Structure 1
Amino acid sequence: MPASRHTASAFLASLPGLLLMLCLSLNSQLVEANTRLGDSTAPQDLYGLVDFLADPQGTLTLDDVRAANAPFSASLTRRDLSFGYVQGAIWLRLPLQSEASETRIWRLELNYASLDEVRLYDVGADGVRESRSGDTVPYAERSIGHRYPVFEIVLQPGEQRTLYLRVDSRGSMTLSGGLMSLRDFEQHSQNGYLVHAIYFGVLIALGLYNLLLFLALRERPFLNYVLFMFAFALSVLSLNGLGAQYLWSQAAPWSNRMLPVSLTSAALLSVVFARSFLDTRQWLPRWDKGLLALCIAIAAAVLATILLPVQRALQLMSLTGLIATLTLLLTSFVCVGYRVPGARLFALAWLMLLTGAVLLALRNFALIPSNFLTLYAMQIGSGLEMILLSFALAARFNELKRQREAALQLNEQILAKRVTERTQALEQANQRLSELALQDPLTGLANRTALQQHLDQALARSVRRNELLAVMLIDLDGFKPINDQHGHEFGDRVLAEVAQRLRQYLRDADLPARLGGDEFVVICENVQSAEHARDLAKRLLEGLDTPMYLEDRAVRVGASIGIVLSHGSDDATTLIRQADAAMYRAKAEGRNRVQLAP
């Protein structure tokens, strides 16, 4: 027994024994450790958090991978979570524990859209929650409606759950992603959609611009450029999951094959565009025959991507894209030596695309890490390429543009002058018509239409500013005898004089309007109190009661004024009706006075 103890102590004291015990201890901690999520946990990269298990035959079940002896490996043992083109399925395991003070919603995202099917098994004390996503899953059936495979994780305070992801894909097994709170995910998702919106906005603008140039100049390179851009845009839509989300959401099986078909078609159209742009038939006849043969080969590859298994189609797509890009880059360098117009910009543009295509292909084969640069390399390279190609097309026809510029300039000046004159005349006519439509022709005051518009706006301002609004309805006293005695023409002059006095004795912000006949309405905003409104009305009475001297005649008219106050909660029709009732009470009490509505 003492000898055994001595042997054990010697072993533990030895350096190899200590290292072994330390490794076993760390491995045990890694296996049992949970990812702890608190109230303010920042977004977490899945690399380093998850364990992975390869299933080459794709036959393992959830019970198999939950077994204690399931051979999961820590993701830190790999460079990243990009597995390349592999057979079968890949399982990811992520144990979670909530340290939040309340129920929290988290989002798990795999940021590669071209994964066929992703199943999530969310295991907790309440059992297993199963959901799925991926580009072969109809959009309506995905766990979360998104261009990427995204899943929702709900954690109660202190709850422990273990997530098992089963990924099956014929394409590249790129399983990079993140775990983040709902708020962080929404911001992250919005930023991603914004980047793609800018990218496709640039493509659409360039495509429409060059399509218009084709329609105007009837030059074939412009049309070939637009067709190439269209096919390439479809491939990028498929690559980033936007096509499955917005264009072919109900065609899930086709969505899985759309990427190799569209990208290989784009390679074919790029060679067709290069032949017409560089005019290789004239400048490089031998190279042109080689490019023609390449077109035939790529056309066969397009057909093959439709018929082959998806994984083979994707591999053929990557190979075809690289061959076409390298061939066109070499062709453009030769054309630069022959001083072909636009060849320099064409070579630079294709170098940008080649860089993006190489990075994407190397990432798909798991030869370089999967990160933001390699994930979006194709978009970045192709965006620069499309812009440079557009510049190259413009430079090619620069001479023709200069020849037409002088003649067009004169015509444009004449046209601009005529347009300016017509626009000014039209604005003046519209302004005059607008004034007439809102103005009483006799008094120049606002008419019923203008009154209604202004009163509605004043009521809204009254509510917003919490101010008191007064509506006054004025009916002239003694106007009918004047009209009968002196005639309607003289009566019209009296009404015009009344309108002038209303403008004179009202505040600048108040609106006088003619309701009809000898009735007027005044809208007074920002009234301090009922007494303030009475004072304004009495001021009007005093102004109207002053004798009028018209055509060597002196006449005098009074007025009965009804007032209603509002904080903006009433409608315009009700206020005018209440003011009218108050005005009739003023007449009943002896005329030439002010009556406030109750």
Structure 2
Amino acid sequence: MPADRRACAALWSWTLALGCLLGLLGALLTNPAQADTRLDERTAAVPLYGHVDYLLDPRDEWALDDVLDASAPWRPSSERRDLGFGYVSGPVWLRMRVVSHAQTTHSWRLELDYASLDDVRLYDVGADGVRESQGGDTLPYAQRSISHRTPVFEITLAPGERRTLYLRVSSQGSMTLSGSLMNLADFERHSQVSYIAHALYCGVLVALGLYNLLLFLALRERPYLNYVLFMIAFAFSVLSLNGLGAQYVWPQAVPWSNRILPISLTLAALLAMIFARSFLDTRQWLPRLDRVLIALSCAAALALLGTMLLPVQNALQTMSLTGLLVTLTLLISSFVCVGYKVPGARLFALAWMMLLSGAVLLALRNFALIPSNFMTLYAMQIGSGLEMILLSFALAARFNELKRQKEAALQLNEKVLAQRVAERTEALETANRRLRDMALQDPLTGLANRTALQQQLEQALARSQRSGQLLAVMLIDLDGFKPINDQYGHAFGDRVLAQVAERLRYALRESDLPARLGGDEFVLVCETVLSPELATQLAQRVLQVLGESMSLEGQAISLGASIGIALSLGQEDATELIRRADAAMYRAKAAGRNRIELAPLPD
């Protein structure tokens, strides 16, 4: 029996020991802790990820004493992909154990990379008690523990000292808690590089903004002004995002400093819509797309109002969704405009691809869907910087293209105008010729009138005088025309005169000029007449042609003519020559009509 009792006691002892071991193991598994982080003068920057534990406090019910308790549910950060928690309710606690292996008392800097964290408190717990520091963008800049654009805290350790760092972070925005612990010299170098990079970025924005503002003042092109307004709104959002705004522009703007980011970025989205409509001129090129952009602009305006009234976390989520929607819509619109060959659409599309890439990375990081690193943390700045530069090039390309199109249109208009002027000039010349012809033509017969006869006869006299060849002027008066005119009327008589004019053209040579003096009197100017006999023969032919019967309106009409011929070698004027021919014609009438009378040459 004693042996059995000893066996039972041993079994009980082993069972109890095994239970204690399992309990301790369970406690270790449920409350894991990171090993101490060793620090010395040569320690490089230590990232928080992998070296801290985290604790979620969704109901905001944990105080420092609670998290110091051994039963607090801490989890190692190595279980997570990174320290990006997205939009969560309540604070997030981080715990980091550090021990100094430096030879002397040394200072380190603990920095969180994301400047838009609202409230960050550091509880530095050691043997001497608790040291409390505070940072975050809702705290006036002058009250921050370390004057810096991001939450930064000083950690001072004596040689061999061991301390535990507790970070309590609460924010209405994305809980991006990536950061590093580094020595003072590394921190200063890191800060200088980051400030220089941000200064260069802001300098580019300022330079582009001023340049395009000057272009607007010089050219009065509305897209340049819309671009500058978009850049101003976007610059405020970037200043809020990287912490420079709270440091330099609005250091005392609490509590509005927490809303500047969603308000400015949503305003930038609205102004981007306005800029895109003016830049792409969708009202002219794509009216249907223009109506879509107007509707989206109204939605962006409502979202802007929401960012002013909604809780900050909802405002930030509204900002992210609005930015993504606007950027994606403008990218699709730019591709459509590229298809329609809208000026500057290609560079516009490329610029918005850059911004969309940055906005997508930023939004996905804010929602903790992708890791938080340098690229995703500064994706918006990188994408927007490239976008601003490309948009500036796009504005220049658009201006040059529109200038080229205007010049081409102007040249086309000048060409059309020149063609119209030429056509009008030709029409005027034709009209003038017709007017001259009408001024020199007899309207009834189409023969030369009295004015044309005077001009042609003077020129013929000058040629006759130079050449020494005879010039014959025949004056014809119709015999028997008055009874026909009286019997059949003036209209019938006019048709008879027109027939007489046709017969005169037929009887004469091509070089001869028939003219009508008026009534039933006609004049023939015949140059290069070799002899008086030839002039008489020509007159005989005319008399024969006119004597032939003509049929008009069923009536057989017969006419005769008395012809007086005056010859000249150019020594007299036209009036005298016609007077002599007229006298010879009257002698022909007096001698019995329907005959020819030749006036002798003057001495």
TM-score range, shorter-chain basis?
Answer: 0.5 to 0.7
Residue matched to 1:111: 113
Aligned-partner Cα distance in 2 for 1:166–1:395: 51
Aligned-partner Cα distance in 2 for 1:349–1:328: 10
Residue matched to 2:176: 174
Q: Which amino acid aligns with 2:186?
A: D
Report how far residue 402 of structure 1 moved. 7.7
Residue matched to 1:161: 163
Aligned-partner Cα distance in 2 for 1:322–1:40: 44
Residue matched to 1:550: none
Deviations 1:372-423 (A, max 9, x none): 1100100111111111111110011125778999xxxxxxxxxxxxxxxxxx
Residue matched to 1:235: 237
Q: Which amino acid aligns with 2:251?
A: S
Structure 2 SS opposite 1:265:
helix
Change (3 A) 1:329 1:32: closer
Change (3 A) 1:4 1:281: farther
Aligned-partner Cα distance in 1 for 2:328–2:406: 38
Matches within 5 A, 1:176-575: 176-398=178-400
TM (norm. structure 1) is: 0.64
Q: Is the 8 A contact 1:90 1:166 kept in 2?
A: yes
Correspondent of 1:151 among 153, 159, 165 = 153
Report how far residue 254 of structure 1 moved. 1.1
Residue matched to 1:96: 98
Report how far residue 317 of structure 1 moved. 0.2
**Does the alignment pair 1:38 with 2:40?**
yes
Aligned-partner Cα distance in 2 for 1:334–1:5: 85
Q: Is the 8 A contact 2:34 2:96 kept in 1?
A: no
Residue matched to 1:86: 88
Q: Which amino acid aligns with 2:197?
A: V
Aligned-partner Cα distance in 1 for 2:24–2:70: 21
Q: Which amino acid aligns with 1:173?
A: M
Report how far residue 29 of structure 1 moved. 11
Change (3 A) 1:385 1:4: farther
Deviations 1:259-280 (A, max 9, x none): 0000000000000000000000
Q: Which amino acid aligns with 1:182?
A: L
Aligned-partner Cα distance in 1 for 2:30–2:229: 57
Structure 2 SS opposite 1:132:
strand
Residue matched to 1:417: none
Aligned-partner Cα distance in 2 for 1:84–1:128: 29
Structure 2 SS opposite 1:397:
helix
Aligned-partner Cα distance in 1 for 2:155–2:59: 29
Structure 2 SS opposite 1:252:
coil
Aligned-partner Cα distance in 1 for 2:405–2:58: 66
Correspondent of 2:123 among 104, 121, 126 = 121
Change (3 A) 1:39 1:337: same
TM (norm. structure 2) is: 0.63
Aligned-partner Cα distance in 1 for 2:277–2:358: 22
Q: Which amino acid aligns with 2:39?
A: L
Q: Is the 8 A contact 2:34 2:76 kept in 1?
A: no
Structure 2 SS opposite 1:320:
helix
Residue matched to 1:131: 133
Deviations 1:565-586 (A, max 9, x none): xxxxxxxxxxxxxxxxxxxxxx
Q: Is the 8 A contact 2:84 2:372 kept in 1?
A: yes
Correspondent of 1:64 among 63, 66, 70 = 66
Deviations 1:113-165 (A, max 9, x none): 11110111111111111111101000000010111000001101111111111
Aligned-partner Cα distance in 1 for 2:138–2:31: 37
Report how far residue 83 of structure 1 moved. 0.5
Aligned-partner Cα distance in 1 for 2:302–2:127: 55
Q: Which amino acid aligns with 1:104?
A: H
Aligned-partner Cα distance in 2 for 1:224–1:32: 53
Q: Which runs of 5+ in 2 are unaligned?
A: 1-5, 408-603
Residue matched to 1:490: none
Q: Is the 8 A contact 2:31 2:74 kept in 1?
A: no
Deviations 1:330-384 (A, max 9, x none): 1111101100011011011101100100000000000000001100100111111
Structure 1 SS opposite 2:343:
coil
Report how far residue 252 of structure 1 moved. 2.3
Residue matched to 2:465: none
Task: Determine what percentage of the aligned residue pairs are the same residue.
Answer: 71
Q: Which amino acid aligns with 1:229?
A: M
Give the root-mean-square deviation of aligned CA atoms. Answer: 2.7
Deviations 1:261-315 (A, max 9, x none): 0000000000000000000000000111111111111111111101110000000
Q: Which amino acid aligns with 1:110?
A: L
Change (3 A) 1:352 1:251: same
Aligned-partner Cα distance in 2 for 1:5–1:229: 80
Change (3 A) 1:8 1:76: farther
Structure 1 SS opposite 2:255:
helix
Change (3 A) 1:290 1:156: same
Aligned-partner Cα distance in 1 for 2:34–2:319: 42
Q: Which amino acid aligns with 1:352?
A: M
Aligned-partner Cα distance in 2 for 1:169–1:360: 17
Report how far residue 25 of structure 1 moved. 11
Q: Is the 8 A contact 2:343 2:402 kept in 1?
A: no
Larger radius of gyration: 2
Aligned-partner Cα distance in 2 for 1:301–1:57: 28
Report how far residue 95 of structure 1 moved. 1.2
Q: Is the 8 A contact 1:139 1:252 kept in 2?
A: no
Structure 1 SS opposite 2:259:
helix
Deviations 1:26-69 (A, max 9, x none): 86996262111112111000001111111111121100000011
Aligned-partner Cα distance in 2 for 1:207–1:32: 49
Residue matched to 1:442: none
Q: Is the 8 A contact 2:327 2:352 kept in 1?
A: yes
Residue matched to 1:539: none
Aligned residues: 401
Change (3 A) 1:22 1:381: farther
Change (3 A) 1:23 1:377: farther
Q: Which amino acid aligns with 1:200?
A: C
Deviations 1:519-562 (A, max 9, x none): xxxxxxxxxxxxxxxxxxxxxxxxxxxxxxxxxxxxxxxxxxxx
Q: Which amino acid aligns with 1:135?
A: D
